Chain A
Amino acid sequence: MTEQEALHQRFNKVWRNLPGWGTLAAVNHTSVGRRFMLTGAIFFLIGGLLALLIRMQLALPGQEFLNPDVYSQVFTMHGTVMMFLFAIPILEGAAIYLIPKMIGARDLIFPRLGALGYYCYLFGGIIVISSLLLGMAPSSGWFMYTPLSSTEFSPGPGSDFWLLGITFVEISSVSAGIELVVAILRSRTPGMTLSKMPIFCWYILVTALMIVFGFPPLILASILLELERAAGMPFFDVAAGGDPVLWQHLFWLFGHPEVYIIFLPAAGIVSTILPVFTGRPLVGYRWVVMAVILTGFISFGLWAHHMFTVGIPQLAQAFFSMASMLVAIPTAIQVFAWLATLWAGRVVYSLPMLWVFGFLFVFVLGGLTGVMLAMVPFNWQVHDTHFVVAHLHYVLVGGMLFPLIGGLYYWLPHFSGRMPSERLGRWGFGLVFVGFNATFFLMHLTGLLGMPRRVDTYETGFGWDWLNMLSSVGSFVIAMGVAIIIIDVLLHFRFGRKAGNNPWNADTLEWTTGTPPTMYNFASLPEINSRHPLWDNPELLQSIPAGEHGLTQIEHGRRETFGTDAITGKLKEVMLLPTNSWLPLLVASSLAVVCISLLTRSYLAAVVITIVAAIFLFRWSWENGGHPLAAPLGDKEPVEAPLQSRTLDGSGLWGMVITLLADGALFLALLFGWLYLWAVAPNWTLPDESLVSLPVMAWSGAFLTFATWWYCRAVKQLKAGDDTGLQTRFWVVTAAGAIHLVLLVGVTLVSPLAITELAHDAVLLVMLMFLIFHSSISVIATALQALRVRYGYVSKELPYEPVVLQPLWLFSLATFWCSVASFLLLPIAWGAA
């Protein structure tokens, strides 16, 4: 056995998954990423089958193949599955799989969070799909507009399946977003500054931040609508002071950025592939980074262009119309950068490049119709017609599916170590490209001729017949192309020729991890001083697996990777990564039972299982830092840098801050909802005096303020290297926080809120529940910290965890007083004025 093989065996022993069923406890990013992608691919096939059903129904006028109700379920589920269960998760899976390998890390920073996210996605997806098999699928369209999705017009459980199942899936999206942001910023291999990051990482960084800010409004909207349906809280009921248009705002606050959340990773794939097949660096790296950042922001300012027909004043429409046109600027910058790269390089027309060319053609057409739709008068004309359906498929299929399949062919040798069939691949591309344009280009015409979307049938004589027939034929041509791609992928595992280590002569680090990759990615972590490490230093392909770089110790049995400075890439600490664990599966399973209990209206069971899930989660938090199962003091400390549990600025703090950004976005969405209903809802009523006792809230806030202040003092003292009396301080904080919590719960219970009669009171209850939730976590987590001090898991040598918890206390304090000011004091002040 060579020295390199011996090193591999030692690493493999620490990093491998458990055998047999134990593989379900796997947390490493390679396994989790593959599972995300495989599951996403299965959902894609389900969504595709639903699309074929739609096209079969519309192929001829007057068809009765599907009845109207089933047809509504089918098109709703097609959109839902493709958007929520395929597009986002599969791209997240690709990012989860690729990012650590590209930045020179052994795993993502929060591996158990990734595993939890996967199981939430899987179980949520199964719950949503099961509604279809039970014949009670949602039927209000994938954006679930109220009041159509409300109890009055959708009395069955279909909407509940959507709201609960999709919210469950969104836990997965947000958790992936958080861990990707922190991983990219804090675990790049030494020397990899921001300006030397692979361009794909910039795309994923911006996308992940968009997820962090973009998903909470939909999570809030789903919670509100489910509360309306299950408990009769009338957020969207005009008669009770609600407003159905609030749903549209909250949905599209998420929904439009989501288009770019889907597009950006795919564009990142294109920006990664193009340089490899043109043999030169991407033209305008800086311009592309700028464009990606701008796209991330501007895409949040377009949401109302989906609502041009709901009665918004012309000036506001003009704002959104102009913003919709402006987003074409950063997109065009990227397109021109790609064209310039093609122009300046020597193009190799391999399979991945075919898909890139297909992407450029289809996506640019979709972008052009997007600019057309940004014009308000044109938008009015084609609103809710097949023109819009054609546009969104050109943008999403062109902007996401084409690059995704290009990426699949590009990284297939990385997954399997074998090459795909060029011939089958070209047939697959040809059929999908021709079929796609046949299906959807003609749909522009059908829409311009006035055919509304979502109608289950139509009469002959409008000139739609032949267009629909050809569209349907095209959809089956796409299906043939997809079938050939699947066959190609399946066959290549057995018949594909061996790929070697870097078959495309790529420039990025993932190709040094082996084809297929090892579970630990890198036996040694290199110093990187180039944007194209494998072009500038090809011997990395041999020196990394040979263990010639950093962090090669593995005898301690811990999973470790380097933690570096977010900007300069300088080495700061060694990060301890959790090993295989059943806790993510247990937590996700519990949450799935909670979800099913809510669906079946078994609320007592839901409460009990929620407590079980919380116990699992707190147990999860227990096995960290200086715990014997993690890295107790003095246990073979690393030589390159300290373990992060011995530092004050570890990944946990970053994870907490990014999580609180998502949390803050949800709070802001709630505040927006409150102000929106107040300003717009015609029957909104403010009581003459506050229904929630202000003196009790003031006392509750005073205790919270004291607890937060005392906690911050304890942390300051700990940072100064003094841990005397730390346990007592934490118990004092816990006690003060508990009194605050008791007062808050008490005031919630005794306030005379008519939550089923007035939207105003219902929103107040949601606000109070938000505060109770956060304060509860702060108090319990601090009590656990006090216990951990007692057990010796937290001390001046292990100061990491209290620092992580500090932002949560500050967040709880800020949202408490902000809520008191906005929800309780402002209405009084307004009434007095």
Chain B
Amino acid sequence: MKTLRAHPLHLFAGPLLWAIWYVVLYSGQALGCETAPPPANAGVWTWLNGLLLLHTLVFAVVLLYLTWLAHRSTPAESGNGRFILKVSTGVYLVATIAVLAIGLQSVIYPPCV
């Protein structure tokens, strides 16, 4: 059974993944609109929205998996290790929520209007 080692990197890995996802999301949207903007009347079902949504779902799945791994690995640890994994579980979970809450905007708004 795969488990996580109680490394302090996990305290920051969730938000770090969120940050990378966010930079790619924002810059991808901006570059997409600069280079090949979908027509304004196309609504939300455009290639750009689809790409942003796919990007969001990939990161959300990865973060959710890490949340589950961290949660599952916690009982095996004690003391400092337990502390690190418990905090990391929460951090991964909120990072997942943040990815979904922000990224799902791409099914509501057209990309370049």
Contact = CB atoms under 8 A, between A and B. Distances in A.
B44 to A, nearest CB: 9
Contact of A195 (B29, B80, B91, B108): B80
B11 A313 contact: no
B94 to A, nearest CB: 5
Contact of B102 (A286, A296, A322): A322
B101 interface: yes
B11 A293 contact: yes
Interface string A307-330: 000000111101100110010011
A568 B80 contact: yes
A313 B111 contact: yes
A329 B31 CA distance: 30
Contacts of A293: 11-12, 15, 87, 91
Given A293-B12, A297-B15, A680-B34, A315 B105 contact: yes
Given A195-B79, A315-B111, A329-B94, 19 more contacts: A193-B79, A195-B83, A195-B84, A290-B94, A294-B91, A298-B98, A301-B102, A313-B113, A314-B113, A315-B29, A315-B113, A316-B26, A316-B29, A318-B105, A319-B29, A323-B22, A329-B97, A567-B80, A680-B30
Interface string B60-88: 00000000000000000001100110110
Q: Which of B18, B94, B106 has the most CB of A within 10 A?
A: B94
B19 interface: yes
B51 interface: no
Contacts, number: 98
Contacts of B16: 297
A720 interface: no
B57 interface: no
Q: Which of A195, A319, A326, A675 has the most CB of B within 10 A?
A: A319
Contacts of A679: 30-31, 34
A78 to B, nearest CB: 33
Given A313-B112, A315-B111, A679-B31, A286 B11 contact: no
A519 to B, nearest CB: 32
Interface string B1-33: 000000010011001101100100111011101
27 contacts: A195-B79, A195-B80, A195-B83, A289-B87, A290-B87, A293-B87, A293-B91, A294-B95, A298-B18, A301-B22, A301-B102, A313-B29, A313-B33, A313-B113, A315-B110, A316-B29, A318-B109, A319-B22, A319-B26, A319-B102, A322-B101, A323-B98, A329-B94, A567-B80, A679-B30, A679-B34, A680-B34
A791 interface: no
A429 interface: no
A194 interface: yes
Nearest to B35: A679
Interface in A109-157: none
A618 interface: no
A275 to B, nearest CB: 18
Contacts of B86: 286
A300 interface: yes
B87 A286 contact: yes
Contacts of A297: 12, 15-16, 18-19
A287 B107 CA distance: 32
B66 to A, nearest CB: 14
Contacts of B113: 313-315
B86 to A, nearest CB: 6
Contacts of B84: 194-195, 567
Nearest to B90: A290
Given A290-B94, A323-B22, A323-B102, A316 B30 contact: yes
Contacts of B33: 313
A221 to B, nearest CB: 18
Given A193-B80, A287-B90, A290-B91, A326 B102 contact: yes
A297 B102 CA distance: 14
Nearest to A193: B80
A313 B18 CA distance: 22
Contacts of A287: 90
Interface in A530-581: 566-568
Contacts of B87: 286, 289-290, 293
Contacts of A195: 79-80, 83-84
Nearest to A209: B12
A293 to B, nearest CB: 6
Contacts of B11: 293
Given A286-B86, A313-B29, A329-B94, A319 B105 contact: yes
Contact of A326 (B8, B49, B98, B112): B98
Q: Which of B12, B26, B95, B106 has the most CB of A within 10 A?
A: B26
Contacts of B110: 314-315
A39 B77 CA distance: 47
A289 B11 CA distance: 10
A155 to B, nearest CB: 33
Contacts of A567: 8, 80, 84
Interface string B40-56: 00000000010000000
A405 to B, nearest CB: 31
B50 to A, nearest CB: 13
Contacts of A314: 109-110, 113
A315 B109 contact: yes
Interface in A276-310: 286-287, 289-290, 293-294, 296-298, 300-301
Nearest to B48: A315
Closest 4 CB pairs of A and B: A297-B15, A195-B83, A318-B105, A315-B109
B8 A194 contact: yes
A290 B12 CA distance: 10
Q: Which of A294, A297, A298, A568 has the most CB of B within 10 A?
A: A297
Contacts of A316: 26, 29-30
Contacts of A300: 19
A123 B61 CA distance: 51
Interface in A464-506: none
